[in-house]
A = this chain, B = another copy of it.
């Protein structure tokens, strides 16, 4: 199933006779790499499966991802998403929140046609995503353990759920589903670490979104946490970050972080997660699809070379 085919199923799933809603949905569906649906489709290839069912679940998981992006952008006040104005920025908060809710409901409508285990896997993932975002609101000060818990709930849970669903749909045994879920979990962590790396060190010109957003919002990601661990002036920097950095201070922090090899450290941390993902993949019965999944996993690290 190609990107275009995924897009076609997505478009069909969300169709509505309400013209404003359709406009909102079209905007919400523009762009995106479709990584999560690809994981469902690939993981389902470990065994016999119903192609239509797999497509519907893949699309449902993408819709849930899109819904959470829309709500996150409202909550973060983000203005750009996938090189376009964020939905709420263009249409307002009210239509954006409602579009997110509509996408959630549409996703569950698709999942209703599938196995119960799929539905419970996905609902647990969403509960975890919401719980993680709420937990994050209470984190104060640098805390690497809290960072990993947070990115686990925010990103890795849905990657992991996508892979497990693939496994459920091709009727893998539970321990094998668990390996797929573990693969997805570490892949998700790596993906988020790379994202956080790019937000700090990436070139805005090469990325499809503005960079240096996390620092501006006072969010301490892995490279900054590492920097605060190593810098002799950590206390002063932490104070500056909570107060809000000027553009010059941001550049200064990034240069100092590079000097202390926080970029390499972060890239290595992403690499470690990919290694753990591949280790889980190796535990599964030999199947040509492992190669595709391994390739997809290793490509997660490519932006570290391409976008800096």
Contact = CB atoms under 8 A, between A and B. Distances in A.
Contact of A109 (B71, B101, B120, B137): B120
A277 to B, nearest CB: 25
Contacts of A21: 130-131, 134-135
Interface string A48-89: 000000000000000000001001001100000000000000
A75 B100 CA distance: 13
A147 B248 CA distance: 54
B108 A108 contact: yes
A26 interface: no
Contacts of A299: none
A116 interface: yes
A120 B112 contact: yes
A105 interface: yes
A101 B75 contact: no
B104 A101 contact: yes
B127 A105 contact: yes
B135 A101 contact: no
Given A21-B135, A127-B106, A134-B20, A97 B112 contact: no
A75 B102 contact: no
Contacts of A68: 101
A126 interface: yes
Contacts of A129: 101
A94 B260 CA distance: 35
A75 B91 CA distance: 13
Contacts of A20: 134-135, 137-138
A30 interface: no
Given A20-B137, A71-B101, A127 B112 contact: no
A130 B112 contact: no
A246 interface: no
Interface string A96-125: 011111101110110111001001100110
26 contacts: A16-B131, A18-B134, A19-B138, A20-B134, A21-B131, A21-B134, A21-B135, A71-B97, A75-B98, A94-B133, A95-B134, A95-B137, A97-B97, A98-B133, A99-B130, A101-B129, A101-B130, A102-B127, A102-B130, A102-B134, A104-B105, A105-B123, A106-B127, A108-B111, A109-B127, A119-B119
Given A18-B135, A21-B130, 13 more contacts: A16-B131, A20-B135, A21-B134, A21-B135, A71-B97, A102-B134, A104-B105, A104-B126, A105-B127, A106-B123, A106-B127, A108-B108, A112-B116
10 tightest Cβ-Cβ pairs between the two chains A and B: A105-B126, A109-B123, A112-B119, A102-B130, A75-B94, A98-B130, A21-B134, A105-B127, A18-B131, A108-B123
Interface of A: 16, 18-21, 24, 68, 71, 74-75, 93-95, 97-102, 104-106, 108-109, 111-113, 116, 119-120, 123-124, 126-127, 129-131, 133-135, 137-138
